[in-house]
Amino acid sequence: MRKKRLSGVLLPVASLPAKDIGNFGKVAYEFLDQLVASGQKIWQMLPIGPTIIHDSPFYSPSAFAISPNYIALEDLTENPTRKVLEAKTLEDYYHKFDFENPNRVAYHLLWEQKRPILQQAYRTFLSNVQDKTSFQRFVASQAFWLEDYAKFMGVKELFMGQKAHETWFQWPPEFKNKTEFDRLYCEFEKIVEQNQHKDDVNQWNFNASGYWNRERVTQFHTIHYQAGYHRFLQWIVFEQWQQLKQAAQLKGIILIGDCPIYVAPDSADVWANQAVFKLTASGNQACYAGVPPDYFSPKYGQFWGNPIYKWFVNEERQELNMAALNWWCNRLQHQFSLFDELRIDHFRGFAGYWEIPADKCTEKDENGVMVKTAKYGAWKPAAGIRLFEYVAERLHKKLTELPIIAEDLGVITKDVTAIREALQAPGMAIFQFAAWDNLHYIHPDGTDQYLKTDADVRGLPLHEQAAWDRLFYMVKDELVPFSQHEFLPENAPVSGKRISYPGTHDNETLVGWFTSKDRLPAEKAIFERYLDHNLRGEYKQEPIHWKVIRLLLKAPELQYTIFQMQDLLGLPNIGPQDNIKIRTNIPNKEGQWQWKLGGTQQFSMDIMQKLKEATRIGGRS
């Protein structure tokens, strides 16, 4: 982990200002140049895997694959080694997005329009591209995950549109059982070899006995072809990613990736590695992941629905499950090869996790409607530091050399902190989440004043440091000094939260948070007075988001300070003119992950220049 004081920008690849969706093409290279021009050294992304449910990057059919949405189509018209599309095809494609809002990714249109183009590119690749050496080399080097993923997606293509077989849990037994599927696929490959010079599957010869008949041969032919298509997509998108990564390295930009701790149930990861997860004998989920009632979901908690890792061989929890350790080792090694550093989401899940039994995950709400609930779960122990010790040993690294950032937000226990400290991994601080509300002021005469209105705050001597030491907030019926809050930058050395954000993808934009009707007048007044006090009154006339940016850039205790693009632009949660969602995500809600740069919402030269100067003043150039 680098020890320099650096700063950067949090921007999902999908949010780059392309006409359809952000990609690894021109818009990505332009953003690297913008980072350099604005004095930034970090580009932090959200997970870059394929998306399947509600477009969430945290819910993917693979923990290893990259989303084909990020393929820069221009490369397929210009690159002489894989010129498989015509420029006119792209021109017609982009015209389909002419009437879409530039600040919203139209996922429905993207699915309808980009998929046929990529399928056309694959057909051309098969028939017209003679030199397939690079493709074959990629397939061989990534076989440890790519083969299972490609076949999984091949079966998904076979059953596409069939509600009864929507997920792999609903597939017929010979497809659901991975061992049986592999055996049949092996037999089918021999049939392919026998008929390799016949294009029409209906003309193939085979021994029509036992399992095989014309219908089943046709089914496996579809799977075989579609598996090849998905290998092709991964080859293209991985090559484009590696080129982008090299460009970032040349420009001195650190790429930080995001690794969700859990995987999607309907994924190649679970289907192909059933010994890694807590499943029933029939291959269904025995329990689900989530968190108990919290800030975001105070009534039911957050029911995520992900499968739980089988960390231990049995319930005595003494012998670790080597299948789970090896899978995680492969996953982390793969992610480390893609990124310079890796943020692991829900890091506390390595110490202990919230397990929701399959038979206690629903209940009726006040209207009698069945809803998902996480409140009947229980905390269970996970592998802890032993997982990372195993990974470090396998990768021939010291434990402290694993380039991990711990997302240690929420209620964090000592065992979680112990793992993070053993890794010497920095934790995360969300500046919005410091204790700005429910504050009490203890007067010199000992009287306690609860701060509610702007007038309550106006008369306090908040220009004096001693006054801040007399601000308290309520925690478990006792008054605790405000100045000790872990998310204040000055407490980073003690808390270990050395990477600070005004807010992340799960939070409101900074402007949206500050202007919300949920903010009490006293809360807003204290927030602004704290900023003015710590900035020594130098930037009193600046908007609130720039005050926060300047404060975090200046903070000597913070290793990295990273800003959402929306906060650099000073944007609200929702576009005032068009009602487009600007906030990236509201946890546990559908219809998120839509916003992208474009139109009037641009990382302009003026903002870049201002950020560069603020970064220089903050000593992070």
Write out the H or E segment, with its range, that includes residue 23. none
CA distance 436 to 529: 11
pLDDT of residue 470: 87
Confidence of residue 573 (pLDDT cuts 50, 70, 90): very high
Q: Which of 511, 268, 276 is nearest to 383 (CA)?
A: 276
Superfamily covering domain 428-617: Glycosidases (3.20.20.80)
Q: How many angstroms separate the Cα of 374 from the Cα of each of 356, 360, 371, 381, 451? A: 6, 8, 10, 17, 35
Q: Residues 260, 307: contact at Cβ < 8 Å? A: no
pLDDT tens digits for range 430-452: 999 999 998 999 999 999 999 99
pLDDT for residue 3 is more than 80: no
- Partners of residue 429 on adjacent β-strands: 500
The mean pLDDT value of the chain amounts to 95
The two tokens of residue 584 are 């990236």
DSSP 487-508: TSGGGHHHH---EEES--TTS-
pLDDT for residue 1 is more than 60: no
CA distance 343 to 258: 5
CA distance 210 to 124: 36
pLDDT for residue 39 is more than 80: yes
Gap between the terminal Cα atoms of the chain: 18
pLDDT tens digits for range 47-60: 999 998 789 999 99
CA distance 220 to 572: 50
Location of each CATH 3.20.20.80 domain in the chain: 428-617
pLDDT tens digits for range 155-213: 999 999 999 999 999 999 999 999 999 999 999 999 999 998 898 999 999 998 889 99
Residue with tokens 């960390």: 311
Print the SS3 string covering 251-294. Answer: CCCEEEEEECCCCCCCCHHHHHCHHHECECCCCCECEEEEECCC
CB proximity list for 26: less than 8 A, separation 6 or greater: 72, 74
pLDDT for residue 2 is more than 60: no
What's the pTM? Answer: 0.96
Q: CA angle, 217 as apex, 213 and 222 as ends, to 5°?
A: 150
If DSSP codes are grouped into helix, strand and coil, which group holds residue 596? coil
- Label residues 349-361 b or e (16+ Cβ within 10 Å = b): bbbbbbbbeeeeb
Residue with tokens 């992208």: 596
CA distance 39 to 453: 39
Strand order across the 254-259 sheet: 404-406, 341-344, 254-259, 42-44, 6-10, 560-564, 499-501, 428-430
